[in-house]
Structure 1
Amino acid sequence: MLKKLGLYCLLINFTLMLSAVTIANNGNGQNKIGFVMPSKTRKVEIPFDMYNNLIVIPVHINNTLTLKFILDTGAESAILTEKLFGDLLGLNYVRQININAPGERDSLQAFVATNVTMSLPGGITGRGMNMLVLKEDYLELNKNLGEEVYGIIGYDVFSRFTISIDYDDRVLTVYEPDSFKPRRSHTKIPMEIVNTKPYISMTVKQKDREDTVTLMVDSGASHAMLLDVDNTEEIIVPQEVLPTALGYGLAGEIPGFIGRMGACVVNDFSFDEPLVSIPMSGSYMKAIKRGSRQGTVGGDILSRLNATFDYQNNVLYASKGNRYKDKFEYNMSGMILAVVGEDLDSMKVSRVSPDSPAEKVGILPGDIIKKINGKTLYNSTFTEINSLLRSREGKKIRVVLWRDDKKMKLKFRLKRLI
């Protein structure tokens, strides 16, 4: 069974382990520390991009450089993944630290930068901020998202404002907490904030059994749901699972399995046959986001709703989005792709699952993919191409690839693998 490891590495889980880190602010205290809105402004709308269920927004750093950051409810502190930018910005590194993180490494290195200024669209500005700068680009967001994304931001924003995420129109509405008024159509879901992380209760169903789990709400994870076997021994998980790489954390690949639950229910919302990620014992929880309890609920569920995070009142408001009834689908090709090239213009096959459609037509790890059904990284996004590979069982896929300087054209049909 383990020979099949590695079908799917696009469920990118950006787990930010700061449990052993306390970052002190060395600012002079003359300016208010943290994010503030412009004077007399009560709300700001911020358009966002979405890649593999992840929210990406522009962040302007030290009034000099604008970079794309992932908005992650599971992130304790802002993180810059490329130290080169930190050096160019002249960030004030006060010390180097080790961080435990999900993946196959035990720890990694980062620098603590203090007194950083970060600005969001609409004039939202944070002064005297702290930021972790990775010593190396462990996440390789460019390769995994196919986009120039260099950072992650979370609690610094969510703790200060009430934030509505309209996944349908791809717009964030950032409110001063006392100015937000929920609509009657919104469902109120109790949410607990523990160690900077939001948690909700969810019912998971498998055949004739129901269990209640407490999951961290993780907008920085692409997956639908993750259940940790080290903390959910009493929960019945799917018997039919597929060995795979669940994604990448700060410390590299996270090995595990993927399967399907019968359903999951949150208050008025019910999702049929959601995909569930199950990390191998010990590979995730030794360094998971602090206190995540029994697992996480990620972007593949959140993006089917329109959600408002109200940390001040411990409430998550939600309504059904346009994708609410969409089926949960997994990569049906069996080939896992990563973006390569200085201009992020090519795709490389990183893994091929045994007995999958891609393997049966002879696609190999290392092949350079130029076109899939006419789509390239010049006329489509990497997210759109991956969505094509999850689209519909039986769909014909035409691949143009290069191997050893030879051009090849191959065809296969998608097949549901789980």
Structure 2
Amino acid sequence: MYKLGSILLFLIFSLTLNAQNDTGFRFKDPDQRSEKIKFELVNNLIIVPVKLNGVELTFLLDSGVDKTLLIALGTGDSLDLKKAQKVKIRGLGSKDSFEAFQSIGNTLEINDAININQEVYFIIDKNNELAKRLGLPVNGIIGYDFFKDFIVRINYKTKYIKLYNPDKFNRKLRRYDQLPLQFYKNKPYATLKVEDESISKSNLTFLIDTGSGSSFWFLENEHISEPELYFQDILGYGLSSIIEGKRSKVKKVFFGKYEFEEPNSAYPDVQQILEIEKNVVRDGTVGAEVLRRFKLFFDYPNKRIYFRPNIYFDDSFNYDMSGIVFDYDGVKIVKELKNVRMKTKSDSDEISYNNTNDFIMSIGVKPKVVVKAIRDQSPAKDVDILPGDELLTINGKNAYDLSLEQIQSILAEKEGNKVKLEFLRNNKNIEKEIYLRDRLKDLLNNSEN
């Protein structure tokens, strides 16, 4: 089993106002030791239920952000934000610049954990890009504010988070490996050993980022050179921009004592990361495609991360082999005929069910799956699939019955697989067939010939 990391959400803040001190999170019952939170996992990303000023919302849990963001509210929702002031926020993509409002004095609840003086940044996102990327009504992002007051256990297998009161935490973690964390602008970094011909420094500093669905990102610098074999690819998203860069592999990366051989790696074409953050310590990012392979304890109060492998540890590192980036873009009305099973009663009063030729019409609202972008030199490019094409079916299955994650899994399953796709373009149905192709393997074979 594997999950794809097609969503990459990095936010870098450029603020002109001084942040206000808040009281932090605490349990409503001061004697409470711990609290379990059920989460949804979408494209490796963790979605948690929250309540902000009494309104029920869902937030992305992203250790790579230092502020709490409110991005979009569902239709008909209203929310009273306290003491709002206008600020500017810049994101990872070249077009990711937003007008936002800084608000303090809000009440944020996550199950039985509460902060009665939460600082929130409200981003005006008219197109609701985050929800379109994930296919869920995600209203915001929370990171440092969530982690800093607890010891946080994340179990990707059971899809539960457990919060522990640091003063009452007495669990022994002898079976877990550990790494020290260092913090820069309230974001966690760890030093990992890397072996590759293109990297001259063995120990590199990585941002530990639950909000990146990818595996390893490397930022080219004096120690990290352009890889010898790579291809240009679409790596993911900022809030509104597509992030492009080089797709490659590195020889080995060690996460503590655990070794990953030839994991997928990416080199984003976004040098403004360092310019915006003015970050002199960061060499790259470890995303959730790696983190999901471990049981994790984030211990911000003691600046440690504890980890041990789970059942996903040996999963292969896969990536899209079609060249298609899909997105949700609105909804569509779907009509379906359903066979009616009639209930009949015999003379002996026994009830039986008979299939008939009678049908009922079912009408529902379904998400519309649309091609957002196409990678050059890809199977999709070869058969003239275009941005804006609406996906109707994939291998005979209705696209609206599948999640984006399920669609992406089909497109990353195995090199050589034939995938049948049906699209709607200019009100006409068109059919396409592609054969999945491992671009990195092509490059390697060509280099040996």
Pairwise same-fold verdict (TM > 0.5) = yes
Q: Deviations over 1:181-230 (max 9, x none)?
A: 2432211212122321111111122259662101110111111111112x
Q: Give, as a single letter, the amino acid of the residue that structure 2 aligns with 1:328.
A: F
Which of 157, 167, 173 is 1:168 aligned to?
Answer: 157
Number of aligned residue pairs: 401
Q: Which stretch of structure 1 is more off in the superposition, 101-110 or 124-133?
A: 101-110
Q: Deviations over 1:37-66 (max 9, x none)?
A: 131211111111111111110111111x21
User: Counterpart of 1:114 in 2: which secondary structure?
Assistant: strand
Structure 1: runs of 5 or more not aligned: 1-7, 26-31
Which of 122, 126, 130 is 1:141 aligned to?
Answer: 130
- Cα distance change, pair 376–92 in 1 and its aligned pair in 2 (3 A): farther
TM-score (norm 2): 0.83
Cα distance in 1, alignment partners of residues 103 and 262 from structure 2: 44
Counterpart of 1:82?
Answer: 72
Counterpart of 1:5?
Answer: none
Largest Rg, 1 or 2? 2
Query: What does 1:312-391 correspond to in 2, within 5 Å?
Result: 312-342=301-331, 345-391=367-413
Alpha-carbon distance, 1:137 to partner:
4.6
Alpha-carbon distance, 1:251 to partner:
5.9
Verify: 1:242 aligned to 2:231, yes or no.
yes
- Cα distance change, pair 334–106 in 1 and its aligned pair in 2 (3 A): closer
Counterpart of 2:348?
Answer: none
Counterpart of 1:392?
Answer: 414
User: Counterpart of 1:156 in 2: which secondary structure?
Assistant: helix
Q: Deviations over 1:2-60 (max 9, x none)?
A: xxxxxx993422324256552225xxxxxx82211131211111111111111110111
Counterpart of 1:14?
Answer: 10
- Cα distance change, pair 187–151 in 1 and its aligned pair in 2 (3 A): same
Whether the 8 Å contact between 1:255 and 1:279 is mirrored in structure 2 is yes
Report percent identity of matched pairs.
29
Q: Give, as a single letter, the amino acid of the residue that structure 1 aligns with 2:121.
A: L
Cα distance in 2, alignment partners of residues 205 and 105 from structure 1: 34
Q: Which stretch of structure 1 is more off in the superposition, 139-148 or 282-291?
A: 282-291
Which of 39, 44, 49 is 1:58 aligned to?
Answer: 49
Q: Give, as a single letter, the amino acid of the residue that structure 2 aligns with 1:318.
A: F
Which of 200, 209, 215 is 1:218 aligned to?
Answer: 209
Whether the 8 Å contact between 1:189 and 1:317 is mirrored in structure 2 is yes
Aligned-residue RMSD, C-alpha: 2.5
Cα distance in 2, alignment partners of residues 38 and 217 from structure 1: 29
Q: Deviations over 1:351-370 (max 9, x none)?
A: 22233222223322221102
Which of 172, 191, 194 is 1:201 aligned to?
Answer: 191
User: Counterpart of 1:165 in 2: which secondary structure?
Assistant: strand
Cα distance in 2, alignment partners of residues 290 and 253 from structure 1: 22
Cα distance in 2, alignment partners of residues 386 and 182 from structure 1: 39
Q: Give, as a single letter, the amino acid of the residue that structure 2 aligns with 1:14.
A: F
Q: Deviations over 1:240-289 (max 9, x none)?
A: 22223332224633332221111211221111212222122534322359
Alpha-carbon distance, 1:411 to partner:
2.1
TM-score (norm 1): 0.89
User: Counterpart of 2:223 in 1: which secondary structure?
Assistant: coil
Counterpart of 1:263?
Answer: 252
Structure 2: runs of 5 or more not aligned: 332-364, 441-449
Which of 219, 222, 227 is 2:218 aligned to?
Answer: 227
Whether the 8 Å contact between 2:391 and 2:399 is mirrored in structure 1 is no
- Cα distance change, pair 408–110 in 1 and its aligned pair in 2 (3 A): same
**Greater RCO (CA < 8 Å, at least 6 residues apart):** 1
